[in-house]
């Protein structure tokens, strides 16, 4: 996809989201304005329940706001067809879900190769790249293991490898240190940062872990679905 270097990769304009009905509703995102560009490492910090996962899935077009506009790669999300949005997500966005969303019936390598099928490449190349990524994440020994045989931290590393598979321009990571012992968690974030820097990608992480801030260019706080930029 063509994009000018000054153009935001992703943008939210006056986005609000409410869940529930008229009797009982929760505002999950409150008038959010946000933009991110290639080469940026961004952290959204907030406690549990503050709206971090909703923010990230809304950015990726996995759910829609009640009001406002989400623009992905220069175009309003609503102007993409469902198919276009699916392909865009598969090719241009690497998403590390809070609960990983690995497929239990597939090995680590197969889980990673599966997303590679959306970019045209030979199977042998896909397998080689998947194995290299597992190696980069320090879990090459898991290549033939199934998610049911992995610890939470191991699943997290496989999920990150999968998010890097397609050389996506935008990497979204939900609690990247969440399930890892503290030192390992920071090591993972450092590795993600290096990958993103090397390729001038854009990384947006959401976390409750203040220590991730030192690996980010811009830090925002989220509280009750409202986002404000912190000075660093
Ligand atoms: P975080 O990731 O920061 O923990 P979430 O985005 O998961 O926060 O949730 C924000 C708020 O929205 C919470 O109050 C949560 O209970 C509520 N929420 C999230 N998803 C749903 C849902 N599907 N139905 C009802 N409430 C939800
Ligand atoms: Mg969450």
CA dist list (Å): 82 to 15, 78, 91, 139: 20, 9, 14, 35
Confidence at residue 129, expressed as pLDDT on a 0 to 100 scale: 95
Residue ranges around ligand 1 (CB below 6 Å): 19, 26, 28, 46, 48-54
Helix, strand, coil in percent for the chain, rounding step 5 = 40, 25, 35
| Most informative mutation of 21, 26, 43, 46 for ligand 1 (most atoms within 8 A of CB) | 26
Instruction: Please check the confidence at residue 232 and state whether its pLDDT lies above 60.
Output: no
Closest ligand to residue 21's CA: 1
CATH entry, 10-229, from 3.40.50.300, 3.40.630.10, 3.10.129.10, 3.90.230.10? 3.40.50.300
Considering the entire predicted model, what is its pTM?
Answer: 0.92
Q: What is the pLDDT of residues 83-114, one digit of tens each?
A: 999 999 999 999 999 899 999 999 999 999 99
pLDDT band at 71 (very low <50, low <70, confident <90, very high): very high
**Ligand 2 centre and the CA of 208: distance in Å?**
9
Which token pair is 48?
């549990």
Pairing status of strand 75-76 against strand 93-96: unpaired
Out of 18, 19, 225, give the residue to mutate to test ligand 1, the one with the largest number of ligand atoms within 8 Å of its CB. 19
Band of residue 11 on the pLDDT scale cut at 50, 70, 90 = very high
pLDDT over 60 (residue 4) = no
The three-state secondary structure class of 49 is: coil
Q: What is the distance in A from the centroid of ligand 2 to the CA of 46?
A: 9
How does DSSP assign 140-205, residue by residue? GGGTT--GGGS-HHHHHHHHHHHHHTT--SEEEEESTTTTS-HHHHHHHHHHHHHHHHHTT-EEEE
What does pLDDT average to over the chain?
Answer: 91
Residue 204: pLDDT over 70: yes
| Ligand 1 mean position, distance from CA 18 (Å) | 10
Q: Give the 3-state secondary structure of residue 33.
A: strand
């Amino acid at each position: 996809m063509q994009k000018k270097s000054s153009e935001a990769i992703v943008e939210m304009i006056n986005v609000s989201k409410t869940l529930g009905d008229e009797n009982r509703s929760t505002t999950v995102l409150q008038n959010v304005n946000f933009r991110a560009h290639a080469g940026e490492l961004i952290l959204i910090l907030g406690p549990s329940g503050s709206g971090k996962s909703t923010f990230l899935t809304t950015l990726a077009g996995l759910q829609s706001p009640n009001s406002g506009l989400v623009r992905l790669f220069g175009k309003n999300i609503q102007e993409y067809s469902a198919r276009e949005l699916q392909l865009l997500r598969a090719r241009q966005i690497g998403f590390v879900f809070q609960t990983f969303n690995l497929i239990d019936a597939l090995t680590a390598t197969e889980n990673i190769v599966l997303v590679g099928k959306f970019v045209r490449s030979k199977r042998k190349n896909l397998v080689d790249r998947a194995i290299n990524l597992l190696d980069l994440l320090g879990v090459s020994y898991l290549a033939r293991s199934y998610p049911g045989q992995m610890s939470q931290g191991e699943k997290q590393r496989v999920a990150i490898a999968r998010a890097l598979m397609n050389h996506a321009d935008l990497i979204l990571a939900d609690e990247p240190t969440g399930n890892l012992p503290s030192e390992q968690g920071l090591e993972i974030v450092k590795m993600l940062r290096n990958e993103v820097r090397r390729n001038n990608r854009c990384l947006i992480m959401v976390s409750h872990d203040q220590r991730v801030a030192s690996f980010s260019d811009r830090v925002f706080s989220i509280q009750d679905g409202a986002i404000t930029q912190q000075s660093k």
